[in-house]
Chain A
Amino acid sequence: MSASIVLFLMFVAVTLAITFWAARQHTGATSYFAAGRSITGWQNGLAVSGDYMSAASFLGIAGMIAFQGFDGFMYSVGFLVAYLTVLLIVAEPLRNAGKYTMADILAYRLNPRPVRAMASLSTLTVSTFYMIAQMVGAGALVSLLLKDSGIRYETAVTGVGVLMIIYVVFGGMLATTWVQIIKAILLLGGTLLLSILVLAYFGFRISAFFDAIGHVSYHQNGVLVTEDFLTPGLKFKPPYGALDLLSLGMALVFGTAGLPHILVRFYTVPDAKTARISVVWAMVLIGLFYILTTFLGFGAATIVGRDQISANGGTNMSAPLLAQDLGGDLFFAFIAAIAFATILAVVAGLTISASTSFAHDFYTNVIHHGRERAPGEEVRVARVTALVVGAVSILLAIVLGPNANVAFLVGLAFAVAASANLPVIVLSIFWKRFNTLGALAGLASGLLASIILILVSPSVMGVDPPMAANAVRHLIQRPALFPLENPGIVSIPLGFLGAIVGTFLSREPVHEGRFAELQVRGNTGLGAEKAISH
């Protein structure tokens, strides 16, 4: 088991070296917040992929497919198709008209202070939910994988948190970008290797592999059952399965284009054309990865088997256990180290985007009306915020404990992004009549609808049978009020509705000039923020 620690420490050493290199590059806001806008297309493609493919994807989807077959693969599909929204609608206008954050484009032609305040709140909400899920996942993973080496959950969480703070406080966007790139290469490499080994197990005959998937056996309540794992409907069952699936699809496809930590990466490239190319690179890599989850998940289902996985730590261990069965303890250590690196890279990405939003949107623009009182103040505030955000996440993760059911937090993050952020971004870019009250109402209604509906969903509310000892318990022990796990199908329309109704209720006059400016800038790149010259 200690081989995992050694490999992980090698990753940490390399990334710390990069952090200190990055810290000695040009200082200044553009350097800290946007890596000097010097990242190339393929680099940013890797960085976006790295930021996006979190432990939830790698471990979570493998686990879902291993336990419930085809339905888990629906997540994989949604995660990739979601990038079409980013490519066609959001990435280029954002890079052309904005500077450092998602709120830049919202505040463009609207009253900046209230809009930036709400957008900052939304960004912090999404990032916090995502982050807590990752931190708890990190701690839980360590306590499972390194049972024998005595590293406790609290130590693991603190370790990950401290490293993340170092990357962000000292290295800024340049360091976190390169951490993402390295992690993406490792993750893709490890997944490719694991997939090849799965195929090799079946003698490189795809037909044999899929034949085995059609006859997966495991014990359910002591009885041996055999199911066709390629059949849809094992997880999303009537009466609400179909609606839940649709809701999930909507949250993924609309939410990705509203995730602040993904959007902020498009400011790190020199121009909109590079941003577009980087999205396509990301789509190639992400698509490849999610197709390979077929081998990870179905491989774990057929080679390791549900029974084995349940006995050895549960669904999240599906991919590592597969690695162990196929490649021995060394390969297990490699995959485990990749899982840690994945979590670390993603939390760093979340922290930089949350602290950038606080410093640029809230501190400089809302509180100080867009003026820096001393040169370098914005960057200093961001560094301090990163420290605070890191410390709070460590504390929250320790308080929640390793058994907390936090998978719903990632789903919530997507739902909030889809319901609060995306409607306002789209309407801001395309609808001339859109105004400040519309933006505020849209952000508020999306935020509230998604949060409230998740709090009363089966993810949070449910009555557990009393026997479950170490298992995951619902936070509120009452029958769920809202039947769907994902609120997207209700909250996304509510977000749009709030934005539209708010617009019509307001008597703010239409700013033709500002809309014209946003249109021309967004579509031509005239006047876009440039890369700093070296």
Chain B
Amino acid sequence: MSEKLPRDSDSIDLTPEVGAGTDVAPLGHPTPKPSHERTADEERAGVDWQRLAATTEFQSLLRAKMRFVVPACFVSMIYYFALPLLVGYAPELLSRKVWGVLNVAYLFALSQFFMAWLVAALYIRAANRFDRQAKLIVEMAATHRNQGGR
């Protein structure tokens, strides 16, 4: 911090500032740091989150995700809870032999595994789409920071 010099209209401080363009090389990065060198805090510092959240790209990503996740959760939970409900309240129905020696109960329980695997596979496929959309948003944020932001 500079001290306040005594007010004297004739004396001007002529000592060169360190780091001036004519002196030594400028301090710091001339170009923004590449993303793999930035820490999480530095990444946060340059981003206008609310503006990003309001962009149509982000809103469409959110909507696309909800359009998958909400029905997927509903359907899988209904299918899953049907098992304890039926076992608890309609065990005779489930005891009926279906495929030779197997009964409905065991087959229904076994089908839960395949249901879960199916939902997981469908999610992986949908998520590849979400990844592409997310990548666009990340790039958008990077260009905004490099152009206008800090």
Contacts and interface: CB of A to CB of B under 8 A. Distances in A.
Interface of A: 70-71, 73-74, 76-78, 80-81, 83-85, 87-89, 99, 207, 210-211, 213-214, 228, 230-233, 236, 241-243, 245-246, 248-249, 253, 273, 276-277, 279-280, 283-284, 287, 290-291, 512-513, 516-517, 519-521, 523-530, 533
B88 A81 contact: no
Contacts of B121: 280
Chain A contact residues, majority secondary structure: helix
A230 B85 contact: no
A210 B50 contact: no
Interface in B72-104: 72-73, 76-77, 80-81, 83-85, 87-89, 91, 94-95, 100-103
Contacts of A249: 80-81, 83-84
A525 B106 contact: no
Given A73-B106, A210-B101, A287 B76 contact: no
Contacts of B73: 84-85, 88-89
B70 to A, nearest CB: 9
Looking at A85, A88, A521, A527, which has the most chain B CB atoms within 10 Å of its CB?
A527
Nearest to A519: B53
B36 A524 contact: no
A70 B105 contact: yes
A230 B131 CA distance: 44
B29 interface: no
A88 B116 contact: no
Nearest to B36: A530
21 contacts: A70-B105, A70-B106, A74-B87, A81-B115, A84-B73, A87-B120, A88-B72, A210-B102, A230-B95, A230-B101, A230-B106, A242-B84, A245-B84, A246-B88, A276-B127, A280-B120, A283-B120, A520-B137, A526-B47, A526-B138, A526-B141
A391 B111 CA distance: 44
Contacts of A213: 101
B143 to A, nearest CB: 13
Nearest to A514: B49
> Which 8 residue pairs across A and B have the least CB separation, nearest first?
A242-B88, A527-B43, A516-B53, A517-B49, A210-B101, A245-B84, A524-B134, A233-B91
A5 B74 CA distance: 48
Contact of A84 (B40, B54, B76): B76
Given A70-B106, A88-B69, A207-B100, 5 more contacts: A70-B109, A77-B80, A88-B72, A520-B137, A527-B40
Interface of B: 36, 40, 43-44, 47, 49-50, 52-54, 58, 61-62, 65, 69, 72-73, 76-77, 80-81, 83-85, 87-89, 91, 94-95, 100-103, 105-106, 109-110, 112-113, 115-117, 119-121, 123-124, 127, 130-131, 134, 137-138, 141
B88 A516 contact: no
Contacts of A284: 117
In this complex, the member of B36, B53, B62, B124 whose beta carbon has the largest number of chain A beta carbons within 10 angstroms is B53
Contact of B112 (A80, A242, A533): A80
B103 A81 contact: no
A233 B81 CA distance: 16
Nearest to B79: A81
Nearest to A253: B80
Contacts of B85: 242, 246
A230 B104 CA distance: 10
A526 B115 CA distance: 32
Contacts of B94: 232
Given A80-B112, A88-B72, A283 B117 contact: yes
B14 to A, nearest CB: 42
Contacts of A88: 69, 72-73, 119, 123
Given A291-B110, A527-B43, A245 B105 contact: no
A287 B116 contact: yes
A446 B131 CA distance: 35
A429 B95 CA distance: 42
A249 to B, nearest CB: 5
A232 B49 contact: no
A70 B47 CA distance: 55
B49 A513 contact: yes
A300 to B, nearest CB: 17
Contacts of A527: 40, 43-44, 47
Contacts of A517: 44, 49
Given A81-B116, A89-B69, A524 B137 contact: yes
A525 B112 contact: no
A207 B119 contact: no
Contact of B120 (A84, A228, A230, A523): A84
Most interface-central of A73, A232, A273 (chain B CB within 10 A): A232
Contacts of A512: 50
A520 B121 CA distance: 25
A231 B72 contact: no
A246 B80 CA distance: 10
Contact of A520 (B58, B72, B81): B58
Contact of A81 (B44, B65, B80): B80
Contact of B91 (A232, A291, A513): A232
A523 B134 contact: yes
B84 A246 contact: yes
Contacts of A78: 80
A344 to B, nearest CB: 28
A247 to B, nearest CB: 9
A73 B84 contact: no
Contacts of B116: 80-81, 83-84, 283, 287
A221 to B, nearest CB: 24
